[in-house]
Structure formats: C-alpha cells, structure tokens
Structure 1
Amino acid sequence: MDQPQNLRSMKQENIVEIADRLGQRFAATSLEDEDHFVADNIKALKEAGLVEAGVPVELGGGGATIDELAEMLRVLARHCGSTALAFSMHTHQVAIPAWRFTHQKVAAVEPLLKRIANERIILLSSGGSDWIAGSGKAEKVDGGYRITARKVFTSAAPIGDLLMTGAVDEATNEVLHFGLPMNSPHVKVLDTWHTLGMRGTGSHDVMIDGHVVPDAAIALRRKAGQWHPLFQIIATIAFPLVYSVYLGVAESARDIAVGLAKKRKPDSHVLKLVGEMDTALRAAQLARRSMLEAVARNAPSAESINEVMMGRQLVGQNAIRAVELAMEASGGAGFYRAQGLERRFRDIQGARYHPLQSGPQAEYAGAMALGLPIDTIF
C-alpha cells in the first residue's frame, strides 16, 4: 500500500468531502437490498483512506480530529445510515486509542494504531454486550484465558478484522479486555441481524467458543459492574460520533419531507408540521454540538459522561421526533419506499438502544445533581 500517496490525497480532499462524494454513490444503490451487509461501501471507505483517518499523523494516519470524524459520519449518514452506523463503530474504536496516545501519551496503543494505518484493519465493537457489566466467561488456563461468549450488536461483523471486546473472570469478578482476531477458528459470525432498521450494518452476534487469549494480550483488568477511568474516555468520545449518524439520518429525512411538501399546496397544517420538524431538528443539532464541546475539553470524567449522555438523549429524542414529523409533513408520498423517507423512519429508531438508555441516563443525571454515587449506574 502506498501510504504517502494516501496522505497526499487526504490533504487535497478532506474526509468530509470524501464521505459526501462516496455517500452519493452509496445512496444510488441503497434501495437494492437493505438486508445485504454494506460490505462494498465499507471497502470503498477503506480504499479512500477513511479507515485510518483518526490515527495520528506521526503514526501513519490522517490525524483527523473528533469534530472532523463526527462531521464525516454525519454527512455519510445523510446518504446511507447503515454504512455510517457500521463505520462509526470502527471510527470510535480508532478515536479512543488515538486520544489516549495524543493526550495521555499512552505508548501501549501505538502498535494497534500503526496496524490500522499500515494494514487498514477494521475494528469491531461488541457495544451493548460489553458495557460496564461485561459479558462472557474468561477461564484461566496455562498462559492465558479461554474465552466463551456471545457478543451481540457486532456491527460490520462480516468484514471485521479485530473484535475489541472482553470477558468476565468470575474468580476475581474482573472484566478482562483484549482484541480478538476474527479469523480465529474459535470465532463464528451468526446470521442474526434481521431488524426493523439499520438493516445493512451487519450487526450480527459473534460466538466465541474456546479461543485462548494470551496473558500478554490482556490490555486491561477492571471490576465488573463499576465505571472505570477508561470507560469515562470511551463514553465521552464514542457517543458524539455514534449520534452524529442519527443526526445525519434526521437531517436527510427533513430534506426529503421539505421537497415533498413543496410539491403540494401548502396549508396551515403543513406549515405547522414543517416548523415543528425544523425546531426538533435544531434541538438535536444543538445537543450534538454540546456533546462535541464536552469532548473538546479533553477531560473525561463522571461530569463529561453526564454532559455527553444528556446530549445523547436530546439528540436521540429530537432526531426521532423530527423524522416522525417528516413522515407527516410529506403526506402520503412519504409512505412509498422509493422516496427513502420510510427507511430513515426505521433507521432512526436505532437511536433508542445505545447506552445510556433513558432510564439509566436520567438516574445518572439525578445522582450527579444530588451529589450521590454514580459508580454502578449504567
């Protein structure tokens, strides 16, 4: 691979422009088969150099900031929500070690970041199944741990190279974190992703049955069921990127609805719907901005989690509301698949399900306001 050529091209055309150009191509084929994993789209993003966009320049990457990565994902989502959401899971897994390298001078993340830049490997996140409580079983054996687990919501599973995951050592009640090669004979992708929306993300379950992780490959040990400083970094950085995707979906739904509404004779009812839609969308945009401002302070903490998770709720709620209003404002035309609006209506529903969901988020915010412990609220 000609890395210098890639870096030169990324300077000539920034990652947001690349995402927009490729996204227009993705949109042209997005109606063909929604259940089909967007493998060709991810390959195109890889060929364009976006896989390593967030890796620091000195390690061979594009050196993109969190703001730039968020914009890349937002613009991509305007064209294809599934591609953007699947790619956001890789993107945040790159952004987190890049932040640790840049701001905490953590040398241990260098080999991973260099692999991403040099080999353009795709990182997978097992998301909800590896939240604060952890999941799966890590059994101590000679020289390492035998892993038995089923990881759900593993976006881009069919094309991933390395699953960033963990398992629980029941003997110590610790979650062990490690990268697991997807080409292991003990790893299998199960065909489980048949869903309401975001159908092309390939977020299948991954079964791990007996893969042994060497002791030296354990990157972190932490108490199960409790917030850890690393998860303060993860929660602060990851969710502004993921929710940039849902904002992009809502913005594109709004544009479709306005286009359809303009074809009809306007009345006060339509004016009201469109006005409410734009107001909800603006609330989502402002909330996403607040999330990125929390990241920009470069001080992950319980407080930054609170700010980001309030923003996550506000983006999600208002993006969903904006798309609901778009369906109404567009009239019967919006009910047809060819318009692309009903797909966005289904895709936006995914905003409900990422951590922290509404109950834990409100409990976390309440505990913060009252000065009570938040260590086990997740």
Structure 2
Amino acid sequence: MTIQHGHAASPLEAGSDLRARAAAAAAIAADHAEAVDREARFPAEAVEALRAERLLGAGIPIALGGEGATTEDLAEIAYALGRACASTAMIFAMHQTKVACIVRHGAGEPWCEGVMRRIGAEQLLMASSTTEGQGGGNVRASSAAIEPDGGSVTLERAATVISYGAEADGIVTVARRAADAAASDQVLCVFLKEDYTLERLSGWETLGMRGTCSAGFRLRARARPEQVLAARYQEIHGQTMTPVSHILWSSAWAGIAAGAVERAQAFTRTAARGAGGQAPPGAVHYARAVSSLRQARALIAQAIDLFAEAGEDPSRLSALDVQTTLTMLKVEVSELAVAAVSSALRANGLAGYRQDGAFSVGRALRDILSAPVMIHNDRILANLSTLTLMSPVAASLRD
C-alpha cells in the first residue's frame, strides 16, 4: 500500500500513508491479541503484517530503502498497535529504537549503511539486549566485553532478557569496549542471525506482555570489527536510545490505555442508555481515565516536539532540562497509563473485571502493569535525582 503520485510525498502525505498502513497491521494484531496473550506466544501474524506494510523499515531513510518515518510517525504507529495488541506494540517500539541507534550513529559507516539497506529491503526484525547478569536494568554498565579474535571480534554475555530474541533476525547489544575497559566504557554492537547463537537460560511466564517472549539467553557472537559502532555508547544512550525508547514505549503504553478507555466509554454509554440517560456510578472513574490518558498524550507530544527541536545538536540533547524531560517521560507516562487503565476497570465494574465480554479490561491491566517495572521507575528516579541535585530550583514559572 503506497502513495501513487507523480511527485515526492510531502511529510503530511507520507505520515498519512504510514498511519493507514499501521491501521491495517493493527487490525491483524487485534485479531490475534487474545491468542498471543493466552498462549504466551510471539505475535507472528502481527509482525508479518508489519513486514507486509513495510513498517519494520519505517525508520530507515528513504535513500537507504526505508520509509523515512519521523519519530512522531513511529510514535503514532506504536500508539495504534498498543490499542490492538500490547506485545506487538512493544516489539515495534524496541525494534525501532535499535534501528534509530543504527541510523543516527552508523551513518557514513559502510557496514552499518549496508545493514540499514537490508532492514529496509528484507524488513529484518532487530531485537534488543541491554540487560545482563545481576545488573538487571542498569544499562550504563556492562560485564561482558568485546574480544579480538584474529580478524573478527567475539562476545559472550549472559542476557537476563532478550525480548523476542529467538524470533529476531538480528540483535543489537551493548558490551564493554574491551576486557580491560571499565564497566561504563561501553559500545553498541549489531549482530545478524548468522553471527550468533542463543542458549536459553530462563523462560517468560508473566502477568502481561506475554507475547514479547522476553526470555533470558546466553548470547555467543562472532562478527566483523565494523559491527561494533564507532560512536561511544554514552553518546548513543543519551542522544538516541533514551529519548527514542521513552517516546515509543510511552506511545505504546498510551495506546494500551486508550483501548481500555474506549471500552470504559462503551460501557458507560450502554449503562446510561439502560438507565434512561442517567450516568452509572462508575462514570466518575471513566472521567478520571480520560483525564489520565489526556495527560499522557500531552507529555508524549511535548517530548516529541522537544526531541525534534533538539535535532542533531548534541549539546542541546545533553542539556539538563532536555535530559530531565525525556528521561521522566517514561516514569510519568507509565504511571498515568496504569492510572487510566485502573480507572477504566473501576468504571466498568464487574464487567471490566471479567475476562470475557466486550467490556473486559483484564488483559490491558496485566499488560500495562509492566510499564513502571520495565527498567524500574525507582532506578530512573534515583539516577535522575543524582543528576539534578546540584541544579538550582526554578525561581519563576518561566525559568
């Protein structure tokens, strides 16, 4: 499904086309979401739909065979998918975050540009491996190191989680630069399926997000040295990984919340009609759900605009106010999304609590409860409090 015009698509036309294709993929994701959750299986049908609509390569520049999607475009796709299937939305968000890291920090490197072309042409699905051993969600320190081996490099790491690792076409992972490097001296590596093996270490039996299949694996990779990005991971993390992941994760979570709020709206309307137009007792909770969702969407829009304005200027992206806003986005939206779904449950009462029926929000609640603990909010807040401790408190509303 492409735009048939005799001229290059404008940003508005391109965005509209991507959203139409996202809606088509979301419809397929919705059809299989219940089975994906019940069976804790990879959402194969939804991912194939993303491939068919060429959305896995959406973040690749047009010159390299992709769709040239903006961060806002990707966020809208994640939101649409979140309303349909939480696991599919989160897989899309994690994949596009890794693609963004390659695009923004691998430009000009022949091997990286080659893999970008492959992602665009073959619609490769890239998994993320940042958690490791006892470090858990501490993505700023690595135990495993890149080791030289003749004309190649090797890496062996015990990954606590590699979401959809067994189903991916490649893995983007972080590691220490060398065996004698500090844990914080990290690099980002891009491995394709032919470069590595996975040995399963743990399973994935969870309340929600069951289709992300985020099992633990021992990753053993052997690759070319140029598959280790030249950019320092600290720069990649601050300039791309944190802002893009937080925007896309938040968009997926807001989508989950929107799906629950929509069910609460339908229940409230049905109950009001049955009571001769009188609002049911739970209507106040529906209003709270709507408010929480609106706040979440506003924060995401603000972050998208801020990230776009900062552009490619590292100094702007490194500014404390920008870093604080983009970092806190994950914390604030994850909590607002939980609040929205919880309010939707209370609005629907027993009909929302039931696992069956058109007004059930049980799956949405189980899925959204992952948001505050996925890279735990407490860890983020602790890191941010240290960063901002010496910063002066604003003296006025406009400072």
The bucket for the TM-score relative to the shorter chain is 0.7 to 0.9
Q: Deviations over 1:218-277 (max 9, x none)?
A: 22475xxxx722211221222101210000000110111121222324557423212222
- Segments of structure 1 that go 5 or more residues without pairing to the other structure are 373-378
Matching residue of 1:158: 166
Q: 1:185 to 1:179 in 2, by over 3 A?
A: closer
State the alpha-carbon separation in 2 of the partners of residues 218 and 97 from structure 1. Answer: 11
1:363–1:319 distance in 2 versus 1, CA, 3 Å? same
Residues 272-301 of structure 1, C-alpha deviations (whole Å, 9 max, x = no match): 212222111111111111221221121422
Q: Which amino acid aligns with 1:368?
A: T
Structure 2 distance, partners of 1:337, 1:78, is 17
Amino acid aligned to 1:262? R
Superposition pairs of residues 211-222 of structure 1, within 5 angstroms? 211-220=221-230, 222=232
- Check conservation: 1:161, 1:182, Cα contact below 8 A: yes
CA distance, structure 1, for counterparts of residue 150 and residue 58 of structure 2 = 39
What is aligned with 1:271? 283
1:316 maps onto 2:334 in alignment? yes
Separation of aligned partners in 1, 2:373 and 2:307? 22
Q: Which residue of 2 aligns with 1:44?
A: 49
Amino acid at match of 1:312: K
List per-residue Cα deviations over 1:6-40 (Å, max 9, x = no partner): 67599686121112122123212222242111122
Determine if contact 1:128/1:355 at 8 Å carries over to the other structure: no
- Pick aligned residue for 2:203 from 185, 192, 198: 192
Aligned counterparts of 1:261 and 1:89: Cα–Cα separation in 2 = 35
Of residues 255, 267, 280 in structure 2, which corresponds to 1:248?
A: 255
- Asked if the contact 1:128/1:354 (under 8 Å) is kept, the reply is no
Residue of structure 2 in register with 1:228 after alignment: 234
Alignment of 1:61-210 (within 5 A): 61-100=66-105, 106-107=108-109, 109-129=112-132, 131-168=139-176, 169-173=178-182, 174-184=185-195, 186-189=197-200, 192-209=203-220
Structure 2 counterpart of 1:282, from 284, 294, 297: 294
Q: How many Å separate the matches in 2 of 1:213 and 1:107? A: 16
Query: Which has the higher mean CA deviation after the structures are superposed, 195-204 or 121-130?
Result: 121-130
CA contact (8 A) 1:288 1:312 kept: no
Give aligned pairs, total.
Answer: 360
Worse-matched range after superposition: 326-335 or 157-166 = 157-166
Amino acid at match of 1:44: A
SS of 1:197 mapped into structure 2: coil
SS class of match (1:249)? helix
**Can you list the C-alpha shifts for 1:121-168, whole angstroms capped at 9, x where unaligned?**
111111444711124343443334432212233222232111011323
Gaps in structure 2 of 5+ consecutive residues: 133-137, 393-399
Q: Which residue of 1 aligns with 2:318?
A: 301
Letter in 2 for 1:284: A
Asked if 1:329 corresponds to 2:332, the answer is no
Over the aligned positions, Cα root-mean-square deviation in angstroms equals: 2.7
CA distance in 2, matches of 1:172, 1:135: 10
* Alignment of 1:56 onto 2:61: yes
Offset of residue 347 of structure 1? 0.5
Letter in 2 for 1:333: A
Q: Which amino acid aligns with 2:31?
A: A
Measure, in 2, the Cα distance between the counterparts of 1:295 and 1:91.
16
Q: Partner letter of residue 320 of structure 1? A: V
Query: Displacement of 1:75 after TM fit?
Result: 0.8
Report the equivalent of 2:397.
none
Letter in 2 for 1:187: L
Task: Find out whether 1:260 has 2:260 as its counterpart.
Answer: no
Whether 2:366 is the aligned partner of 1:346: answer yes
Q: Is the 8 A contact 2:126 2:168 kept in 1?
A: yes
Change (3 A) 1:40 1:152: farther
- Aligned in 2, Cα 1:163/1:149: closer, same or farther, shift over 3 Å? same
Query: 1:309, 1:356 within 8 Å by CA — same for their partners in 2?
Result: no
SS in 1 for 2:191: strand
Quick one: distance in 2 between partners of 1:186 and 1:311? 35
Secondary structure, counterpart of 1:350 in structure 2: coil
Match of 1:111, SS state, is helix
Equivalent residue letter for 1:172 = A
2: distance between equivalents of 1:177 and 1:203?
20
Alpha-carbon distance, 1:356 to partner: 6.5
